[in-house]
Structure 1
Amino acid sequence: MTRDDRAAVRSFFGERAARWDTRFPDDGPAFAAAVAALRLRPGDRVLDAGCGTGRALPVLREAVGPDGLVIGADLTASMLTEAVRAGRRRRAPLLLADAARLPLRAGALDAVFAAGLVSHLPDPAAGLAELARVTRPGGQLALFHPVGRAALAARQGRELSARDVRARPRLEPLLAAAGWRLTSYADEDARFLALARRSRPPAG
């Protein structure tokens, strides 16, 4: 992600951070169901990549228990400020970090949860490869959004596009090239959830 890319993402989310949770007050059950689909175990190490205000952090913490590790990372400082204000830092340490350049060692994680992240990556291939780098072989990835592609396009007043990075014909090969194997794909009005398993080191 270039400096200009990072600035654009920070500007977009920074302007919305203070109102983010109140704009989407009913998303909690969808987040909980997506985390449940990861089937995390007590003691697992999981990253919430692009954690925003940290809405998934309490559910992730409950899933991995007191012996597990949950980390929240986001590029936008004001989003993390809202996470702290909501008391979510008690659930997980928070990192101000670019998801495409994470300050984590290779294979450090058992799973990555990413809500809304992939659509905001200027280079999705590089971002998915970085998430693979920090995940152990056999570890899991959840790419989630609380509404599906068609519903989101309608909300934003645009046409649904096959060029959308979340469209399965585009997403599946991107995941494969980055070292992930798509295991489940759901694109419904009430949710988008793609699950993948870490298969091998990224190509190249």
Structure 2
Amino acid sequence: MSSECEFFNKIADNWDSTRAVDVGKIARLVAMIGLEPGFTVLDAGSGTGVLLPFLKEAVGPAGKITAVDFSANMLAKAEEKYGHLGDITFAVADIMEFVPEDGLFDAVLCFNFFPHIKDKQRFMIHMQSHLRQGGALVIMHDISRQQVNAIHKDSEAVKNDRLAPGETVGAWLTAAGYQVTQIVDTGDRYFIRAVKR
């Protein structure tokens, strides 16, 4: 098990108390994705499942969500909190090795997770194989890039997990074959949406 995975397993019990959830801001970010009832969604690096109730509301009873995280303890918290919502599959896996059981997704979401991915180009290409044509890969944070990097700088386990400027990540996505439809890199949020051509 990687030291980073151990780190997240250790802090899983207290994770939800480390930062307040801004319900309004997360709801606005989810609205920007463009999810529709019945969509299938992959929540990559789901953690304790902060995004799950928002996604469930967006995709409705006919929608399906797959929550993937390499930390079994974080994902157990997510299932404990949101398993009752129904039609959510919880999968403990490294996202780079994850293979979905039933078909392609309408959207792959990285909420507060992208900096922790070591090989970002490979991740982008790998996620294309999980997306239907026109499906979206969305990278988002409910705080600024500067805040993300400041938080990570102070933790030994994730000190090198940096969030690059939106334009840089947009260029990576374009190079990986996506069409970038939106970049927001401001003082209070980070949001990039790219579509599989």
TM-score under structure 2 length normalisation: 0.87
Corresponding residue SS for 2:164? coil
Q: Which residue of structure 2 aligns with residue 142 of structure 1?
A: 138
Corresponding residue SS for 1:93? strand
Task: Go from structure 1 to structure 2 and tell me whether the alpha carbon gap of 1:40 and 1:18 turns closer, same or farther (over 3 Å shift).
Answer: same
Corresponding residue SS for 1:184? strand
Per-residue CA deviations over 1:150-203 (Å, capped at 9, x if unaligned) read 223344557xxxx9553134312221232322111111222111111112xxxx
Q: 2:105–2:135: 8 Å Cα contact kept in structure 1?
A: yes
What code does the residue aligned with 2:21 have?
D
Query: Quick check: 94-103 or 164-173, which moved more?
Result: 164-173
1:72 aligns with 2:64: no
Q: Distance in 1 between matches of 2:174 and 2:66?
A: 25
- 1:117 CA drift (Å): 2.0
Q: 2:136–2:193: 8 Å Cα contact kept in structure 1?
A: yes
Task: Go from structure 1 to structure 2 and tell me whether the alpha carbon gap of 1:157 and 1:75 turns closer, same or farther (over 3 Å shift).
Answer: closer
Query: Quick check: 19-28 or 70-79, which moved more?
Result: 19-28
Q: Distance in 2 between matches of 1:165 and 1:23?
A: 20
- Paired residues for 1:118-133 under 5 Å: 118-133=114-129
Q: 2:149–2:162: 8 Å Cα contact kept in structure 1?
A: no
Q: 2:167–2:183: 8 Å Cα contact kept in structure 1?
A: no
What code does the residue aligned with 1:90 have?
H
- 1:112 CA drift (Å): 1.1
- Paired residues for 1:1-204 under 5 Å: 7-86=2-81, 88-91=82-85, 92-104=88-100, 108-156=104-152, 164-199=162-197
- 1:11 CA drift (Å): 1.8
Q: Distance in 1 between matches of 2:150 and 2:2?
A: 27
RMSD (Å), alpha carbons? 2.1
TM-score under structure 1 length normalisation: 0.84
Task: Go from structure 1 to structure 2 and tell me whether the alpha carbon gap of 1:43 and 1:105 turns closer, same or farther (over 3 Å shift).
Answer: same
- 1:128 CA drift (Å): 1.2
Q: Distance in 1 between matches of 2:166 and 2:188?
A: 17
Task: Go from structure 1 to structure 2 and tell me whether the alpha carbon gap of 1:168 and 1:52 turns closer, same or farther (over 3 Å shift).
Answer: same
Corresponding residue SS for 1:85? helix
Task: Go from structure 1 to structure 2 and tell me whether the alpha carbon gap of 1:48 and 1:157 turns closer, same or farther (over 3 Å shift).
Answer: closer
Q: Kindly tell me the number of residue pairs found equivalent between the two proteins.
A: 189
Q: 2:183–2:191: 8 Å Cα contact kept in structure 1?
A: yes
Percentage identity across aligned positions?
Answer: 30
In structure 1, the gaps of 5 or more residues are 1-5, 200-204
What code does the residue aligned with 1:11 have?
E
Per-residue CA deviations over 1:50-70 (Å, capped at 9, x if unaligned) read 000011111111111111111
